[in-house]
Each structure stands twice: as structure tokens, then as C-alpha cells.
Amino acid sequence: MIGTWIKQFADVWKNFKADISSLDVKGILDENNLSVWEDLFIGKLVPHLEGEGCLVVAVAGGTNTGKSTILNVLMNEEFTAVHYLASATKRPVLIASRKRVNQCLTNTMFLKFEAKRMEDKEDAIKDTMPNNILLVKEENLPDTYLYLDTPDVDSIAKEHWEVAESIVSAGDIIIAVITDMKYKDEAVVRFFRRAYEEGKIVVPLMNKVKTDCPDFLQIADEQVKDFVKVVGIDEDQPCFYFPEYRYGEKVLGKPIKPLNRDISDLRDYIRSFPVIETKTKIMQKTIEKFKEKFANWYHNEFIEQLQIFKTSIMFIEEQLKSEVIDKDFIPFKGIEFGENIKDEIKKQMGRWKYYLLYPTSIFSYEKKEINRIEIQEKHNLMIESCFVKYLDYLRDKIFVFGESIEKELKKQLFQLSDNRDKVLKSILVKMENILSSNPEWIREEIKDIVREFLNSPDLKGLYGRRLLSFLLFGVGTVSLFIGFPWMGPWKEILTAAGMLGGSAVVEIVGYEKFKERVQTLYENWLAEKRMELSQILKEEVLQYVLNNIYKYIESAEQFDAGICRIFEQEKIPIGETAMLHEFIGTDKEEETDVAYEDIGKYN
């Protein structure tokens, strides 16, 4: 059902926009690229596919074309203020039945606006009220129609035409009010062409037509035909005109006559539309336009930007690993790694066997005298060097997130530099905590290595041979120092035999395999500690500077997953190479039936 996926889509989009709005970074989403499909979606599809439908008749046009006058004439009452100055109307005015007014006041009809009852007809032109206010006026109208007066679509005030575009996106029948000065204006033509492409019924109305002689009507008819042609409207579309009157002259109750059709009045023409069929047709066209515009934004803007952000982040993180965490980083706690091996051997084989069998040359640096304080100082200096080096890299880095975002990142970098000592202290404390304890996998691996070494068949009979070599070495050494002349050259022979025998035994019984496993374990431990330092620097430096980018990527991936999940349920292709606008439903006939069903029953 169309209504089902639209509701799901609305929830996903609402959550995504809420996440983005909380980030202190401007320019992540280009609002101009969002406006077309978002106005259609939030302004029309979401509210207009719920409950009973109605036709929204919007009066729109360029600056000083007399839109407010036309609305008052249609209603036969002066609902909105008419001013001789251009761009007088600053916010939209809605005139509808009590039911529709209440729906607007509870924000279920025009979601992008804050509805407020119109107390005075001057409210629409006041400067003291926000432009996102939708003024609503209750009138004795059928529930199936409501009328809108809009700000200028070509106003020099950008916020005015943004309001006009948003409100007209929610419209069904658009009365295009033009004059002989505005009917070919580029901004006006572009606006109504887009409205027509979105499936609206665009009704041209030439205003301020001089009626002193028949030639003026002929000129107006030709001008309207030109307008119809450049906008792309169906040439059979009825067009209307309204005469020019002096400012202040009473015009209420005057007819709005057709230029080219046998229709009595514009009011009759509007009421001639069958509500259900018209709304269904417009909604289907709106859905198709939304799909096309959203797919274009999704693939060419959103996915492309997300991939750029993720690739850039990945590259920066790789730089952290490759340039900062290099092979020279050896944590000072590594000097205790060999002690862990020794402790486990002592524990499993006993002290005497340990001193008899343990090869002291497994760790080469154990032969050197170790100054722990000096090593720790070097270790801290090493971490500080990594920290400063990466900070300098980020300062020189040219980011690809956009100019406004880059300014915010540079600001974060300066703040980080100002707090350098505090951040460095935090890094050192975290690293000390990590190095102070070995993970479970290390402890288990040490036990396994020692267990395999002690159970090696090569150790059988080793103790005697090892003891004999020590005995020969000891006797020879003592003889050399005390000097037994009767032993002759045997003193040197016994000493050499003890040394060579001990060394040979060590090689024979598989110490090399034991040493290799210990060294491999040690290298794995070092690699893990390097990665842990990399992660700490990422948390303390990179995520501090790029916090909003990380949050955006997380929110964007959640949004992307939600969109894919929704369209997979609807069997809609949404992959990298598939275009969403290919289809959301099945065929045209099925889509029309579904749209009709979701729109609901009309009065």
C-alpha cells in the first residue's frame, strides 16, 4: 500500500533530519536540492494520503499581479489585505470549512507550517509575524475545497518565494495569476512549469486586463496562449481574465470570465472537478514526480556525499595507523612480557627444573640492564611524539567536506591544541591502563606454549644430559681457577665440553620452536598495543575534531538502511546502480487503484 511505505519513509526521514539538525555543522545537506521532493513529500503526500481528501486551490503569481484581489473575488469577501505596494503578502492565508481549519490548527494538513487563526486581514502583510505562519480563516465552504493565498513566487525576498513554493507544492489546482508585465517572466514561468510537471492543474488567469475595446481582450488572449506554450500546459486548458479596476474600487462579486471557453465563471469551473478522480490523478502524478526527484537526490547527492565522507574518514584513519603507529613504537611494558613466560614455566615445571632447562637467550634485551624509569620516560615521549605528529597532520590536511564544514573542523583543531596538555595526559593514562594488564587470549596462549614445551618428547632424558654438561663445565672452570697441574690440558677440554654440550642440548631439544612461538606471540602483543594506541588517538584527537562528521555518517547510514529496508519490502530496486524512479508500484492501473484506496473516501 502506498500509504504504508509513505508513512514508514516519513518516520525515517523525520529521524534523519532531527539527527542532522542537532549537529553544529552547516552545509551537510543542500536544502536547495532537498526542496523539490521534500516539499512534495512533507507538504502533500504525507498529509494528503490520510483520511478524507479535498482539493487545495492555491492562488499564485508574481509580484504585484493581484493575487489577494483574485482570492477575495473568488470568496466574494475581503479576507486578505490588498495593498498597492508590491510583495505585500508575506505569509500564506488559508480559507476553509471548520473541519479543514481544525485539521490545519492541529498540524495535519500543512506540516511545514505553523497554523494560526487569522484575527485581522492585515496579519498577512505584517512584518512582526514569522513567515512560516499559515493564517487560517473559517468560512462556510464544503469540506472538499479549501483556498490559499500565497506570497509572490518571484519576490526579491528569498523567504517569500520559499514559502510560496512550499505551500503551492501542497496544492492541487493552481490559479496562475499573470499580467501583461509578468506572463513571460523567467521566474514565474519556471515556477508554474514545475507545478504543472508535478501534476497540478494550472489554470492561467490574466489579471488587470483593459476592457476599453475588444482589441485588448484579443491581446490578453494571445499573451495567455504564449504563457500556456512556454509553461507547457495543455492548449485545451481553459484560461480566464479579470478586468483592471482602479485601486479601492469595489470588485467583490464580479465574475472571473473565460477567454476561450463557454464557461460562465472561474468559480463554476473549479467546482466542476470531480474530487475523487481529480485528487487520485494528481496524487499519482505527485508520487511519480517525488520518486523521480528523490532518486536523483538520493543517488547523485546523498549516496555520493556519504561515500566521499566515508572514504575520507577511512583515509585519515589509515594515516593514523601508518604514519603514527610505526614499527619503532615498543611499549615499555613489553619488558615484562618475558617475565610472564618465566612465571608460567616456573608454575608448571617447578623452580629446580626451570633453572635447569630455561633458555635465558629467548629475549635478547633481557641481557641488558634495564632502567624502568628511563624506559617509561622514553615511552611517554614516544606517545607524545605520535600525538603531536598526528595533530600536525590534521592541521595541514585539506578536508573534502565543504568550506563551511572545514571552518568548523579548523576551529575544533585550535581548541584541541589549546587543551594539548590535558589531552596528552588522558592518552598516557589510557595507555598505561591498557599496558598494565594482558588480555585473556595472551594468558591462555602463554599457558599453551609452555604446556607444549614441557610435554615435548625431546625433553625425555634431557635432565641428565643437561646436568652432565653443567657438571663438566663446573669442574673445568674450577680446575682452571685453582690450577690442578696433574689434569694437564683436560681442564680446558672439560670446560669447553660443558659449554658446547649445554649449547648443543639446547638446540637439540627444540628450543628454537619454543623461542619462535614466544617471539610470534610477542609480536602479536606489540601489534595489538599499537592498534590500541591508534584507537586511543582516534578517540582523543580524530573523533574530537571530526565528531559531527562521524555522527553524520552514522545517521546517514541508518537512514540509508531504513530506505533500503522500506523499498525492499515494496520490491523496489534501490541499489547503487538502480534508479528509484523506475517504479514504486507495479503498473499504472494498479498504482491508480492503490492511490485511490489510500486516499480514502471523500465527502
Query: How far is the C-alpha of 201 from the C-alpha of 55, rounded, in Å?
Result: 11
The four Cα atoms 165, 167, 173, 176 give a dihedral, to 10 degrees, of -40
CATH 3.40.50.300 range(s) for the chain read 55-273
Q: Which of 104-108, 353-357, 479-483, 484-488 has the highest mean pLDDT?
A: 104-108
| Predicted pLDDT of residue 230 | 94
Query: pTM, whole model, 2 decimals?
Result: 0.67
Question: Under DSSP, is residue 60 helix (H, G, I), strand (E, B) or coil?
Answer: strand
pLDDT, tens only, 432-485: 877 766 677 777 888 888 777 777 766 555 555 555 565 655 655 666 556 555
Task: Give 241's strand partners.
Answer: 206, 257
| Predicted pLDDT of residue 329 | 64
CB 227 within 8 A of CB 189: yes
- Give 334 or 428, the one with higher predicted confidence: 428
Class in CATH terms, 55-273: alpha beta
pLDDT, tens only, 50-102: 656 689 999 999 888 888 889 999 988 887 766 655 555 677 888 999 988 88
Q: Between the CA of residue 359 and those of 122, 362, 506, 508, what are the distances in Å?
A: 97, 6, 7, 13
- Compute the mean pLDDT over every residue in the chain, rounded to the nearest whole number: 77
| Predicted pLDDT of residue 285 | 86
- Give 484 or 149, the one with higher predicted confidence: 149
Query: How far is the C-alpha of 482 from the C-alpha of 469, rounded, in Å?
Result: 20
| Predicted pLDDT of residue 437 | 65
Predicted confidence band of residue 228 (pLDDT cuts 50, 70, 90): very high
pLDDT, tens only, 256-296: 999 877 788 999 999 999 888 888 888 888 888 888 889 88
